[in-house]
């Protein structure tokens, strides 16, 4: 067997621009091609110069979050021979999201003077999409003509998300991508393989925090419903910052269920913004052909009280008695949820519900760390706003809690585990826990750029 190596092209060991290169000795395969959510211009890309232009034979994309697919057009431009393999649903979301990225980058070029933007164009994207190859979970296929056989497995993280198992001349490698092992409102839990592998590449998003042992999704949903109902009753409105794809549809469906059970007032309108409508259309196109709950249910046609904003319309002010599910989830500057918050968080009758991960540096993170009444900076240009509304945080994460990642690694009993997609403390905790749980296994936190030999 030739030497097989794994190299991380991330610039730091963290959750950012995920991209890993597998070199089989005969072929080079990239796993994911993300864009860093906090960096700008070329700093937001993976360290592509580590991988010579034209040297890739294939790319595999696990799902359509931008930290996994955001730089794919740049990578494919540098590697004109390489097709990109992903699930058909991921391809639909990625195409829509990347076209949206072109618009966002073009606006940043104007407003912030970032001359490198946009890093790719609409027209270029239209050309590159022709080299995307849709593959369904449950079927083995060959990656280009590399001799490497691949199979996708439903990851339960996002519509269309997969983990990928690769067979390199008998060496079995499983890359989880982002994974959740529990049911969500729409998504069913991951259906991952349990037969042994040689190498496991494992995400570690939630490695730094133990989930409350009393946690149940049902109790969390009731607490969420109670906070919403309280705000509506006292004449306020509710803001739920959400990512347009995935979390928006999960929260809409959860609100629909809670209304049906009488836990949220049935007549409360639920507003969503423009990009969320586009993403929901794609989810609605796949109500029967993907593993999911509420099969056949079309959100845009059938959801209790749904109000879509018109094309180009920006929701900027709240009305009493209404619920607003607006992107972005971390209330990043210049997004709808951020601008909406200006005339929202200062009002004590309102309620702000966080339902996903918030980076401590993001406006959402700043709000969560602030005491009631404190002045919160939402934007670098405008003055800070007093935080007078009720704030709540709810665990509807699309990532597996850490004990389930450990259990899964123990079941596969690999020879090597590579820990990726986690901040420092998360990676460290996982490395310690795994060295106890799977003692014969070598646990590695890949350093950026370091070539790790998987087999020789």
Residues lying near Zn ion in the complex (CB under 5 A) are found at 65, 67, 178
Question: Residue 236 or residue 329: which is nearer to Zn ion going by CB?
Answer: 329
Least separation in angstroms between residue 242's CB and Zn ion is: 14
Least separation in angstroms between residue 244's CB and Zn ion is: 13
Query: Whole-angstrom Cα distance, residue 59 to residue 146?
Result: 11
Q: Is 360 within 8 Å of 369 (Cβ atoms)?
A: yes
Least separation in angstroms between residue 68's CB and Zn ion is: 6
Least separation in angstroms between residue 7's CB and Zn ion is: 19
Q: Give Dmax over CA atoms of the chain in angstroms.
A: 69
Least separation in angstroms between residue 163's CB and Zn ion is: 12
| Contacting residues for 172 by C-beta, under 8 A, at least 6 apart | 165, 166, 196, 197, 198, 199
DSSP, residue by residue, 407-447: HHHHHH--SEEEEES--HHHHHHHHHHHHHHSTTSEEE-PP
Query: Whole-angstrom Cα distance, residue 62 to residue 33?
Result: 10
Least separation in angstroms between residue 354's CB and Zn ion is: 17
Which of 176, 159, 205 lies closest to 395, judged by CA?
Answer: 205
Q: Is the dihedral of CA 168, 51, 126, 17 positive or negative?
A: positive
| Contacting residues for 82 by C-beta, under 8 A, at least 6 apart | 30, 56, 57, 58, 59, 76, 131, 144
Query: Whole-angstrom Cα distance, residue 7 to residue 420?
Result: 11
Query: Whole-angstrom Cα distance, residue 301 to residue 306?
Result: 9
Query: Whole-angstrom Cα distance, residue 279 to residue 248?
Result: 9
| Contacting residues for 118 by C-beta, under 8 A, at least 6 apart | 101, 102, 105, 106, 109
Question: Residue 95 or residue 198: which is nearer to Zn ion going by CB?
Answer: 95
Least separation in angstroms between residue 66's CB and Zn ion is: 9
Least separation in angstroms between residue 62's CB and Zn ion is: 8
Cα–Cα distances in Å, from 200 out to 127, 148, 157, 340? 34, 16, 18, 42
């Amino acid at each position: 067997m030739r030497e097989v190596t794994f190299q991380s092209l991330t610039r730091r060991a963290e959750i950012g621009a995920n991209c890993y290169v597998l070199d089989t000795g005969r072929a080079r395969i990239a796993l994911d091609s993300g864009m860093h959510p906090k960096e700008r211009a070329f700093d937001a890309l993976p360290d592509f110069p580590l991988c010579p232009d034209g040297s890739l034979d294939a790319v595999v994309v696990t799902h359509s979050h931008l930290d996994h697919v955001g730089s794919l057009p740049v990578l494919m431009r540098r590697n004109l021979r390489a097709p990109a393999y992903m699930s058909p649903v991921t391809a639909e979301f990625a195409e829509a999201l990347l076209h949206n990225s072109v618009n966002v980058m073009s606006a940043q070029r104007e407003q912030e003077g970032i001359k490198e933007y946009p890093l790719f164009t609409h027209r270029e994207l239209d050309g590159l999409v022709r080299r995307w190859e849709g593959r369904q979970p449950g079927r083995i296929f060959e990656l280009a003509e590399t001799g490497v056989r691949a199979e996708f497995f439903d990851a339960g993280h996002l519509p269309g998300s997969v983990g990928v198992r690769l067979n390199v001349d008998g060496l079995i490698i499983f890359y989880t991508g982002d994974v959740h092992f529990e049911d969500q409102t729409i998504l069913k839990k991951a259906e991952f393989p349990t037969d042994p592998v040689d190498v496991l590449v494992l995400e570690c998003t939630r490695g730094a925090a133990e989930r409350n042992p009393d946690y149940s999704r049902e109790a969390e949903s009731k607490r969420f419903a109670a906070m919403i109902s309280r705000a509506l009753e006292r004449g306020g409105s509710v803001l739920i910052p959400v990512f347009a794809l995935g979390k928006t549809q999960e929260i809409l469906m959860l609100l629909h269920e809670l209304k049906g059970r009488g836990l949220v007032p049935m007549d409360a309108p639920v507003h969503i913004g423009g990009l969320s409508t586009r993403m929901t259309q794609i989810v609605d196109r796949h109500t029967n052909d993907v593993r999911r709950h509420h099969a056949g249910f079309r959100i845009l046609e059938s959801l209790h009280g749904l109000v879509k904003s018109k094309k180009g319309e920006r929701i900027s002010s709240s009305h009493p008695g209404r619920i607003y599910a607006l992107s972005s989830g971390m209330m990043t500057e210049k997004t709808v949820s951020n601008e909406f918050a200006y005339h929202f968080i200062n009002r004590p009758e309102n309620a702000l519900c966080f339902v996903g991960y918030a980076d401590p540096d993001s406006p959402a993170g700043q709000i969560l760390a602030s005491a009631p009444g404190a002045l919160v900076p939402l934007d670098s240009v405008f003055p800070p706003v007093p935080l007078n509304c009720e704030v709540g945080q709810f665990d509807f994460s699309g990532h597996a809690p850490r004990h389930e990642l450990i259990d899964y690694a123990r079941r596969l009993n690999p020879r090597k585990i590579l820990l990726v997609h986690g901040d420092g403390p998360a990676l460290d905790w996982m490395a310690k826990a795994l060295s106890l749980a799977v003692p014969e296994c070598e646990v590695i936190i890949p350093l950026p750029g370091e070539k790790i030999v998987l087999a020789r």
